[in-house]
Amino acid sequence: MKKGMMMVVALVAALGVQAQKFNIESAIIELQRGSITEAKEYIDQAATHESTSDHVKMWLVRGDVYLAITADPTQKDIYPNAGVIALQSYINCIKKDKEAKRRSYTEADDRMLSAVAPAYNYALVLFQEGSAMLDNEETKEEGKKRIGMAVDAWNVVLGAYDHDPTNQMAVMNLPKVNILQLMADAAIKVGDYERAFKLFDDVIAGGNAVPYVYTRPALLHMELGDTAKALEVIEKGKLAFPDDKDLTTLQLMVYQAQGKEDLLTDKITEALESDPGNPVLLSNRGSIYDKRARVAVEDLKKELAITYKLRNDIKKEKDAKKKADLQNQMKASIGKTNELLTKINRLDSLAIADYKLSLEADDSQFEVIFNLGAIYFNGALPLVEQANNLPSDANFDKEYAKLKAQWTVMYEDALVWFLKAEEIKADDDLVLMSLQQTYAQLGNEEKSMEYRNKRK
């Protein structure tokens, strides 16, 4: 009796296996008829049954069905991840088929390649949607979830490269490096910086690096406040891509962040040797000279104040020896003042030259135009400071008139550039304020008031 029951059980099990194989064949027939919905039902049943869930033919047909879904306008929106399912199915089919002594389903190779684009595009849409959600607290978690789904899909795409010996995916404009870069960007989006750095390192180690795999992690290191690590990555990138402009720009940014202005200036000058008309490099170097001049102006103000105090102290001092000592100090202070004036004039001249060369390449640069106006305006200040510290002697009127004539020219030059800046940004408050102040310094109270009213 027991033996009979065992035979019945075995018969039922055998019928179950046959039923699932029937589902695979039925899926093929329905797919040939164009009945995708029915084909999907049959193949899904076969995919979930233990007897056929890992059958090589099931994987092939499942790939065919889901690939057909990606091309069917009535189905692809219902099953947006169909491309990923198709691709994974073909990959599984190829793996199982390769385990056999002789392959029986080589058609899966080309069909796998057909499934790559739908899978990749599905992931890209998820990544873009998820990224757009991250800025809103209400949708942030959903955004991270979608980015995670995109990464999962790209991982499936990565699996296809192992079964693409002739690099057809690269021919399809989908080199492996692109996927790894996107996955690294995804890691950055969700704050997994360690994972991002590892992915970029993997790309570099693979020997298929592009400049981006150096510039992006370098920029991330900078954002995280580690300029030393950023510079390390940039220098590696410069060895591989010595002429890449983005790497050069980042290198300059690091030196600027580190306060290494001398080195920064040298590097910009070096970069300009191979790209002499680069407006960004020229404006950056001009900005460095400009900032150095402003620092020197502040030093000048302090030195002029020292000279002014010493002059007053000398007038009050009765002791001949002490007066002589004060006079020596004042002589030294005047010497420092003259050195600072020479330095300021030299730096301003260098900055102006670079700014103007930069504008020759691109005359629409608002910041460069405004900075030129600011240089001339600020260049007048040392002259005013000198005038305010002139000794009250017989030469006062003559020296004052001379300095005033010089600073008037400076303010007139500043006006020219501020008016050009206004042409680009008519409502910019800093431009309007600069024009207000420049007209005031030139004694044109009417125009000064006009720009003051524009700021209200």
Instruction: Read off the pLDDT band of 18 (50, 70, 90).
Output: low
> Domain ends where: 240, 259, 278?
259
Overall number of domains in the chain: 2
- Within a domain: 399: no
232 assigned to some structural domain: yes
Task: Give the Å distances, CA to CA, from 138 to 127, 132, 187.
Answer: 18, 12, 20
Q: Which two tokens stand for residue 359?
A: 């504008």
Round to whole Å and give the CA distance between 360 and 369.
11
Show which of 259, 280, 311 is a domain's final residue: 259
Q: Do residue 160 and residue 20 come from a single domain?
A: yes
**Residues 194, 229 share a domain:** yes
Q: Could you tell me if 24 and 121 lie in one domain? A: yes
Assess whether 222 and 196 both reside in one domain.
yes
pLDDT at 127: 95
pLDDT band (50, 70, 90) for residue 397: confident
Average pLDDT, stretch 198-210? 84
Nearest CA to 161 out of 152, 151, 171 is that of 171
Residues 88, 223 within the same domain: no
Of 177, 174, 181, 186, nearest in space to 146 by CA = 186
Residue 239 DSSP class: H
| Position 313 in a domain | no
pLDDT per residue over 333-350, tens digit each?
Answer: 989 988 988 898 899 999
Same domain assignment for residues 119 and 254: no
Residue 272 lies in a domain: no
pLDDT of residue 291: 87
Does residue 349 form part of some domain? Answer: no
- Find the domain containing 245 and state its range: 181-259
Q: Is a pLDDT exceeding 60 seen at residue 432? A: yes
Using DSSP, how many helices (H) and how many strands (E) does the chain show? 19, 0
Assess whether 68 and 94 both reside in one domain: yes
Q: Which residue has the higher pLDDT, 330 or 68?
A: 68
Q: What is the pLDDT of residue 205?
A: 84
In CATH, what number is assigned to the domain containing residue 225? 1.25.40.10
CA distances from 114 to 117, 165, 232, 311, 323 (A): 7, 15, 41, 88, 94
Instruction: For residue 436, give both structure tokens.
Output: 């207000």
Same domain, 158 and 192: no
pLDDT band at 256 (very low <50, low <70, confident <90, very high): confident
Q: Mapped to the 3 state alphabet, what secondary structure does 254-310 carry? A: HHHHCCCHHHHHHHHHHHHHHCCCCHHHHHHHHHHHHHHHHHHHHHHHHHHHHHHHH
Last residue of a domain, one of 120, 141, 174: 174
- Are residues 153 and 188 both part of a single domain? no
Whether 17 has a pLDDT exceeding 50, the answer reads: no
Q: For the whole model, what pTM was predicted?
A: 0.61
Residues contacting residue 141 through CB under 8 Å, at least 6 positions apart = none
| Domain match, 136 and 206 both | no
**pLDDT above 60 (res 32):** yes
Residue 91 lies in a domain: yes
Helical packing angle, 445-454 and 429-441, nearest 10°: 170
**Better-predicted residue by pLDDT, 6 or 211:** 211
- Higher-confidence residue of 272 and 142: namely 142
Confidence of residue 1 (pLDDT cuts 50, 70, 90): very low
58 with 109, same domain? yes
Cα–Cα distances (Å) from 196 to 180, 225, 254, 271, 420, in that order, read 9, 16, 20, 30, 45
**H/E element, 131:** helix 107-133
The set of residues, in sequence order, having a beta carbon less than 8 Å from that of 376 and lying 6+ positions away, is 410, 411, 413, 414, 417
Report pLDDT for 20: 55
